[in-house]
Structure 1
Amino acid sequence: MDSVNFELANDGIWTVTQLNRQVGQLLEANFSRIWVRGEISNFTQAASGHWYFSIKDEGAAVKAVMFRGRAQATGFIPKPGERFEFRVNVTLYEPRGDYQLQVESMRRAGRGDLHEAFLILKEKLAAEGLFDQGRKREIKPMPLAVGVVTSMAAAALRDVLTALARRAPHVPVIIYPAPVQGMDSAGKLVQALQDAIARNEVDTLLLVRGGGSLEDLWSFNDETLARTIASSPIPIISGVGHETDFTIADFVADLRAPTPTAAAELSCRTRQTCLNQVDAAFNALTVSQHRLLERAGLRLDRAVACLVSPQQRLQQQNERLQVLKSRLARAASAPHDRHAARLALIRAKLAHAQPRLPELRNELNRQIQHLSTSTQRLIERRGQRLKAASQTLEALSPKNILERGYAIVRNEDGEIIKNALDLSVGERLAVELGQGSLQANVLQVHALL
């Protein structure tokens, strides 16, 4: 051990303060940045962000503190009962004479290499810009279809399907199965994502699985998987583990959800929201149609105002005729033929200039009828489009599918049966029909030929 200079009182007797100070110096000098393995207990996260807990094993326990800055850099919140390896400085709190451990960093016991690999990969990808918000794609609020990449046996898949069926039953869901843990699960997750991208049949992809330990979630810390997510032209929402679990896939995905159910809820708007938008569009169309009719009425009024009264037109022609008669009387001394020719010419002009009142009235009626017919056709076309949209939404309802003679079969656990080979003879089934439901027993199982 390093030597420490002790400072005693003149009478050679230690005071309590001196003793604690010297013991603290001994501890700090000889137990600096050492590794301690143990189990966490009495964990408390203070409002200041500091962590207070005890580290114990089978025979002893010691108090420990991890200050906010170092706690935030850990990337997870430990749980009581979990075993970790702690890098600590041993200190003494002089006023009470208690010694405690100041924790600089921590890693899961026996899994330190995994955690260090996680931090190294995280730092590498962050430096390349894969976590930057600017490169992430926007999630479509109204997707035509949603894809789910997860295990067919995962509880997370049931949670996602339940949430989507409740929230947006009109949105089709396509499952791209892949194991979420175990040997080569990361490679199979990459292959499932690549298949979804190549098929290009969904607008949003959900990458989900339930919670678990660091080893259970390790497939989602794969570098190839992270780069596949980053290069995907289809927006990806990650919902891996619980809210306190973080993986590399969470950081590189376009949107991170705290749970698989939350990922499903973030992938699309609710059916009621879509219906509300249809209602709003219909109301806007009605208002627009009313305004169109009002403007057409104003144009018609202005056109009528511009027409000259037939009686006024006849009066003007009559006055002109009187003028011509006067001029004809004054010219009586002219040769008869010339006056006759001029009179014939004047009569022809007068006949030509006389207003054709019936023709003008017929043309006006024709224009009014054309305007009325065009307006009615426009209203009918808009109504047919709205009716077609409503019928499309209704046709997509799962209830209508059941009404056409289909059925939903569930086992005793409430799981939907898609493969006859998943059943056993004698197993009890629940069958949901378009009208009511029934219970049935499996008598015989046939494979699909």
Structure 2
Amino acid sequence: MLLETGFPSLWVAGEISNFKRYDSGHCYFSLKDANAQVRCVMFRGRAALLDFAPREGLQVEVRAVVSLYEARGDFQLTIEAMRMAGQGALFERFEALKKQLASEGLFASERKQALPHFPRAIGIVTSPAAAALRDVLSTLARRMPNIPVILYPTAVQGADAPAQIVRAIGLAAARQEVDTLIVCRGGGSLEDLWSFNEEIVARAIAACPIPTVSGVGHETDFTIADFVADVRAPTPTAAAELVSPNRHELLGRLAQLKQRQARVMQYHLQQHMQKLDQISRRLVHPGQRLVQQKRDVSQKSRQLQQQFHFILSRQQQNMARLSLRLAHLKPETISARQALHQRQQRLQRSMWQGLERQQHRLQQAQLQLAPWDPQQVLARGYALVTRPSGDLVRLATDVRAGEMLNVRFSDETIAVEVRQGIQQQTELGL
């Protein structure tokens, strides 16, 4: 108890030795350096929080409290947290660079570029041997296989990786052959991902004119590249899903739009068909119109003749009355008789001329109507085909074999029987 209360929680660095994990989940090992070693225990609850697997020979840093294993009287360290050696300094560098770049506005949302909905080509900055590349390519092939993919190869781990990543991003920006760029690699320790925490990589991503997606590590991993990129994806696979439209969703949407268009077209077609039916009901057959016009002409001709005879009769009556008056007045002078005779002749000529003009107009009207006379059409060699019911047969495709029809010529109507129709010819290959 004195050991546990007498020493505060402290950080100890060393190499793991004699590591054992029991079925209970508790871990027992020794932590050693060149001069000494100490027994350690890490209980199941704390061990479950580790993001890596401890193993023999691994250099680690542990936060521990001093304790005593009373059953054997052994001095030991009870481990509360463990991290890879050197992560403390790396984390401090990470936080310092993050604070610096944030103060410069490189993380500001207003400088972020929107990803295109339908990219013409997608670029990938990663290692050709990385498993992340296979995940990205398989995801893009599944979602939208027709989008071209261009790889800008680079190392993603090691001392040369940051410079190579910067060159790959610069190459993509210079070529301008893609409109979306994925910078990605798979998961790993803080040291494995450190290339994406370097300042030169962060500034290259921030200066890239192409919308950039960072997909580095697993969902719980964060790098400086995530903050400066236009979009951060939790995994490389998620990055591929962010930059590519879903082909199946688009096809489904297209099918919905196609069905909607078909419904709209069907609706408008029905509307126009109804309007056409209404108009067709108001239309009059040319034959019926011709018969009606012929009746109107005949009626007007009779009216003109009656009117002419009425006017002529009344003029004759007027002349008779004038003659009687003249007879009573006894205008026996030759000049008066001649003038009366001349007026009589002029009147008669005027009446006959008027009659001739009316007859001429009547003849002209009859000549204009003659081509529309059904009898004249039949006289030119045409025939009128009807069913026994009187319905007019307009199309040959309406006739069936064995059907009785009436054929009217200019002089007579005969009954005929159809031996073979158009449809039977089609079926026989004629």
How high is the TM-score relative to the length of structure 1? Answer: 0.53
Q: Does the CA contact (< 8 Å) of 1:164 and 1:264 recur in 2?
A: yes
> Is 2:167 the counterpart of 1:191?
yes
Q: Deviations along 1:77-115, whole A, 9 cap, x unmatched?
A: 57656766578999xxxxxxxx99999x99853343332
CA displacement at 1:241 relative to structure 2 = 2.1
Residue ranges of structure 1 left out of the alignment (5+ in a row): 1-19, 44-51, 91-98, 359-449
1:7-26 equivalent positions in 2, closer than 5 A: none
Structure 2 regions of 5+ residues with no counterpart? 33-37, 67-75, 313-350, 375-430
Q: Work out the CA distance in 1 between the residues paired with 2:205 and 2:245.
A: 23
Measure, in 1, the Cα distance between the counterparts of 2:228 and 2:370. 85
The residue matched to 1:331 in structure 2 has which SS? Answer: helix
Q: Which amino acid aligns with 1:210?
A: G
Tell me whether 116-125 or 265-274 shows the greater mean CA deviation.
265-274
- Residue-pair matches, total: 313
Aligned pair partner of 1:339 in 335, 355, 359: 355
Q: Secondary structure at the match of 1:57?
A: strand
Amino acid at match of 1:325: R
CA shift digits 1:297-345 (9 cap, x unpaired): 3343243234234425642662464245324422334511123224434
Q: How far is 1:251 from its partner?
A: 2.5
Question: How far apart are the structure 1 equivalents of 2:93 and 2:175?
Answer: 33
Report 1:201-220 matches (<5 A). 201-220=177-196
Return the letter of the residue paired with 2:356: A
Secondary structure of the corresponding residue to residue 183 of structure 1: coil
Match of 1:330 in 2: 307
Give the Cα separation in 1 of the matches to 2:28 and 2:108.
Answer: 37
SS at match of 2:129: coil
Root-mean-square deviation (CA), in Å? Answer: 4.8
Indicate whether 1:146 and 2:122 are aligned.
yes
Summarize the Cα distance change of 1:298–1:25 in structure 2 as closer, same or farther, 3 Å threshold. Answer: same
Question: In the alignment, which residue of structure 2 is the partner of 1:222?
Answer: 198
Q: Is the 8 A contact 2:125 2:154 kept in 1?
A: yes
Q: Following superposition of structure 1 onto structure 2, how do residues 60-99 of structure 1 map, counting pairs within 5 Å? A: 60-61=39-40, 80=54
Which of 236, 248, 251 pairs up with 2:212?
236
Say whether 1:318 aligns with 2:318.
Answer: no
**Structure 1 residue 353: Cα displacement:** 8.4
CA distance in 1, matches of 2:362, 2:201: 97
Cα distance between partner residues in 1 of 2:370 and 2:89: 106
> Within 5 A, what are the aligned runs for 1:34-433?
36-37=12-13, 57-58=31-32, 59-61=38-40, 80=54, 109-132=85-108, 135-140=111-116, 142-269=118-245, 271-273=247-249, 275-277=251-253, 279-280=255-256, 283-284=259-260, 286-287=262-263, 290-291=266-267, 293-310=269-286, 311-312=288-289, 314-315=291-292, 318-319=295-296, 321-323=298-300, 325-332=302-309, 333=311, 335-345=351-361, 348=364
Amino acid at match of 1:149: V
Tell me the TM-score normalised to structure 2 length. Answer: 0.55
CA distance in 2, matches of 1:356, 1:240: 88
> What letter is aligned with 2:299?
Q
Which residue identity does 2:94 align to in structure 1?
Answer: F
> 1:205 is paired with a residue of what secondary structure?
strand
8 Å CA contact 1:39–1:55 kept in 2: the answer is no
Give the letter for the 1:160 counterpart.
V
What amino acid is aligned across from residue 57 of structure 1 in structure 2?
Answer: L
> In the aligned structure 1, how far is the partner of 2:172 from the partner of 2:194?
22
The alpha carbon displacement at 1:243 in A equals 2.9
Q: Alpha-carbon deviation of 1:240?
A: 1.6
> For residues 262 and 126 of structure 1, what CA distance do their matches in structure 2 show?
25
What is the deviation of 1:149? 1.0
User: Does structure 1 conserve the Cα–Cα contact (< 8 Å) formed by 2:130 and 2:186?
Assistant: yes
Is the Cα–Cα contact under 8 Å of residues 122 and 181 in structure 2 kept in the other structure?
Answer: yes
**Higher Cα Rg: structure 1 or 2?**
2
* CA distance in 2 between partners of 1:233 and 1:317 (Å): 84
Identity %: 42
1:356–1:111 CA distance, 2 compared to 1 (3 A): farther
Cα drift, residue 212 of structure 1: 2.8
| C-alpha distance in structure 2 between counterparts of 1:237 and 1:281, whole Å | 31
Q: Structure 2 CA distance, aligned partners of 1:355 and 1:131?
A: 90
Equivalent position SS for 1:243: coil
Q: What residue in structure 1 maps to residue 388 of structure 2?
A: none
Residues 112 and 230 of structure 2 are in contact (CA less than 8 Å); yes or no, is this contact kept in structure 1? yes
Q: Whole-Å Cα distance in 1 between the matches of residues 276 and 241 of structure 2?
A: 53
CA 1:256–1:87: 2 relative to 1, 3 Å? same
